[in-house]
Amino acid sequence: MHPAPSLVVFTTAAGAGYGLLFLLGVAAPFGFLPIERWFGVAALGLALGLITIGLAASTYHLGHPERAWRALSQWRSSWLSREGVAALVTYAVTAPFALGWVVWQTAGGAWAASALLTAISAAATIACTGMIYASLKTIPQWYTPWVPALFSAFALATGAIWLAALMHLFGVGAAWADWVAAGSLLLAWGLKVGYWRAMRRTAPASTAESATGLGHLGRVQALEAPHTEDNYLLREMGYRIARKHATRLRNLAVFFGLGWPLAFLALGQGGPSAADATRVLVAALAASLGVVMARWLFFAEAKHTVALYYGRHQD
C-alpha cells in the first residue's frame, strides 16, 4: 500500500495523543500526577494538540474532506465512523476533566469520573483506529488480531514516554513514569517483532494460482500487463519496497524507537536538572521517530490482493 504521509502523521500523532490522554485520565485521579495548573495546561494541551493534528492530517487523504462529517452516520457498520464518533466523545468528556484540573486544580471527587471517562474514550478511539485496518480482509498483513494490539501498544508507549518527558521538564520526575515508559516500549516493540515474524511465516490467503484455478499446473505468471499506463490502483495499492530496504528500516526503527529511548531513560534517573530533562526529551523524540518509521513500513509492506491482477505475487 502507498504510505501516504497524511495517514502516517494521523496514526502516529493521534496515537501518541490518545495514549498520553489515557495515562492522564488514569493517573490524575489517584494522585500520581501534580494537579497543578500549568502542568495540566502543558499535559492536556500536548495530548489534545497531537490528537487534533492527527485528525486534521487524516482529512488530507480524503477525496472530498468537506463530506467527512457524513461518515459519522455509518457507526453501525464502519470502524472509521466509530472512530470519528469516539473521537468526538473524547473531546466532550475531556472538557470537564481539563476544567477541573486547570481552573480548580483538582481531579478528585466528581472530577475523577470525567478523568476516567476520558481514559476510557481515548482507549476506545485508538482501538477503533486499529480495527479500521484489521477489518480489511483484502490486505492479509492487516487482517490479523496483531494490528489493533499494536496500535494500542504503540499509543500507550509514545504517550507514556511523553508523559515522562513532561514530568522531567517540570522538575517533578517520578520513577514510576520512567518505568511505565520503559515497560510500554518493551511491550510495543516486542509485539512488533512478533508481528513481523508472524507475517513472514504466514502463507498468503490468495495467490495467482488459487485465483485462476491453475495451481495444479505450477506457478502462474501473467504473460502481459493488464494495461500499459499507470493507474490509481497501482499507485495506491501496488506500492513495493525492496526487502533489503525494509530490513534496514526495521533495524533503524527498533534502534530509534527502543534502543535509544531505553538508554536515555536509564541515563535520566538523576535528580531534577536541565540535563536530566533534556535526556528524557531526546528519548521521547527518538521513540516518536522510531514509531513513525515502523508505521511507514506498516503501510509500505502491506499488499492488497488486487495486485495479483497486475502479476504481483503476495509472497
The tens digit of pLDDT for each residue in 258-280 reads 999 999 988 865 566 788 889 99
Residue 201 counted as domain residue? yes
Please give the pLDDT value at position 312: 60
Residue 41 counted as domain residue? yes
C-alpha cell of residue 207:
495467490
C-alpha cell of residue 6:
497524511
Q: Whole-structure pTM over 0.85, yes or no? A: yes
Q: Are the CB atoms for 146 and 219 separated by under 8 Å?
A: no
**How confident is the model over 171-219, as pLDDT tens digits?**
887 889 999 999 999 999 999 999 999 988 876 667 766 667 777 777 7
Residue 315 counted as domain residue? no
From CA 173, how far away is CA 267, in angstroms rounded?
13
The full length of the chain comes to 315
Please give the pLDDT value at position 200: 87
Report helix angle 5-27 to 37-58, nearest 10.
Answer: 150
User: Which CATH number fits the domain that encloses residue 281?
Assistant: 1.20.1630.10
Q: Which residue has the cell 504481483?
A: 312
On the question of pLDDT at 27 being above 60, the answer is yes
C-alpha cell of residue 143:
487482517
From CA 212, how far away is CA 209, in angstroms rounded?
5
Residue 151 counted as domain residue? yes
Residue type, 314: Q
Structural domain total, the chain: 1
From the number of C-beta atoms within 10 Å of its C-beta (0-12, 13-18, 19+), residue 231 rates as: exposed
Cα 228 to its chain centre, rounded Å, is 37
Residue type, 270: G
| 97-103: average pLDDT | 96
Residue 60 counted as domain residue? yes
Q: Are the CB atoms for 150 and 191 separated by under 8 Å?
A: yes
Please give the pLDDT value at position 201: 84
**What residue numbers bound the domain in which 43 lies?**
5-310
From CA 310, how far away is CA 315, in angstroms rounded?
14
From CA 28, how far away is CA 33, in angstroms rounded?
5
Q: Are the CB atoms for 228 and 250 separated by under 8 Å?
A: no
From CA 234, how far away is CA 7, in angstroms rounded?
18
On the question of pLDDT at 84 being above 60, the answer is yes
Residue 285 counted as domain residue? yes
Please give the pLDDT value at position 231: 67
Alpha helices in the chain (DSSP H): 5-27, 37-58, 79-102, 110-134, 146-169, 175-201, 208-212, 232-237, 243-254, 260-267, 274-300
